[in-house]
């Protein structure tokens, strides 16, 4: 099978029927986003972030559950995303991705091929869907862009990244120098 036609509009059902080929397929308002398998630096950052968020949520399990990609998060027939990492309320965590609708945190780690999709297309969708906090992690620049539903511009974090699963919970603090330390080149 050749590459899918990316100019036409797709449905979630069509995308989920694609054969496994190592690419990640996502939809935003029917627009097909195709990214290749992530590179080692991406996966190292994802692994570190997953461990940090899991450790934090171990003390706040009643507030949120963390999942790394792949996952099929959908908000309708023409919207399907696979955040690199996300947190949902425990009530939505089930054996069926269709129950995962309220993202308390969504994280995308930039790669050379994902900048437009992560910074523009998916960011707009996450804001539209009221994702509480969206991090765009840029290992090359050593920064994280932090977005919330009503933001017109991101907060650019270059030293200490902070997040709370609820307003009452203590902050998770992530040292970005440590997060991006010794990444494979």
* The pLDDT value given to residue 2: 59
pTM for this model (two decimals)? 0.90
pLDDT bin (cut points 50, 70, 90) of residue 116 is: confident
* The pLDDT value given to residue 137: 98
Domain ranges of the chain: 39-71+80-179
pLDDT single digits (tens) 96-111: 999 999 999 999 999 8
Q: Which two tokens stand for residue 102?
A: 């309220």
* The pLDDT value given to residue 3: 60
* Percent of the chain with pLDDT strictly greater than 70: 96
Q: Which two tokens stand for residue 107?
A: 């994280």
Residue with tokens 């996450």: 126
Q: Is the pLDDT of residue 1 over 70?
A: no
pLDDT single digits (tens) 122-174: 999 999 999 999 999 999 999 999 999 999 999 999 999 999 999 999 999 99
* Percent of the chain with pLDDT strictly greater than 90: 80
Half-sphere exposure of 100 (CA within 13 A, CB side): 25
Average confidence (pLDDT) over 25-51? 92
Contacts of 178 (CB under 8 A, 6+ apart): none
* The pLDDT value given to residue 4: 60
Quote the DSSP letter at residue 8.
S
pLDDT bin (cut points 50, 70, 90) of residue 20 is: confident
CA–CA separation, 68 and 54 (whole Å):
10
Domain at 39-71+80-179, CATH homologous superfamily:
tt1808, chain A (3.90.1570.10)
Q: Which two tokens stand for residue 63?
A: 């507030």
């Amino acid at each position: 099978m050749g590459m899918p036609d990316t100019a036409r509009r797709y449905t979630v059902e069509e995308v989920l029927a694609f054969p496994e080929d190592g690419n990640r397929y996502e939809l935003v308002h029917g627009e097909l986003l195709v990214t290749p398998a992530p590179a080692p630096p991406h996966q190292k950052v994802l692994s570190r972030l997953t461990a940090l968020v899991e450790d934090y949520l171990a003390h706040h399990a009643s507030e949120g559950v963390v999942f790394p990609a792949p996952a099929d998060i959908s908000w309708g027939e023409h919207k399907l995303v696979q955040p690199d990492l996300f947190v949902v309320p425990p009530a939505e965590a089930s054996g069926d991705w269709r129950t995962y609708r309220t993202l308390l945190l969504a994280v995308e780690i930039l790669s050379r091929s994902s900048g437009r999709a992560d910074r523009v297309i998916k960011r707009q969708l996450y804001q539209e869907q009221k994702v509480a906090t969206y991090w765009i992690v840029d290992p090359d620049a050593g920064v994280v862009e932090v977005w919330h539903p009503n933001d017109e511009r991101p907060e650019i974090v270059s030293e200490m990244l902070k997040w709370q699963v609820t307003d009452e919970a203590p902050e998770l603090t992530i040292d970005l120098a440590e997060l991006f330390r010794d990444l494979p080149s």
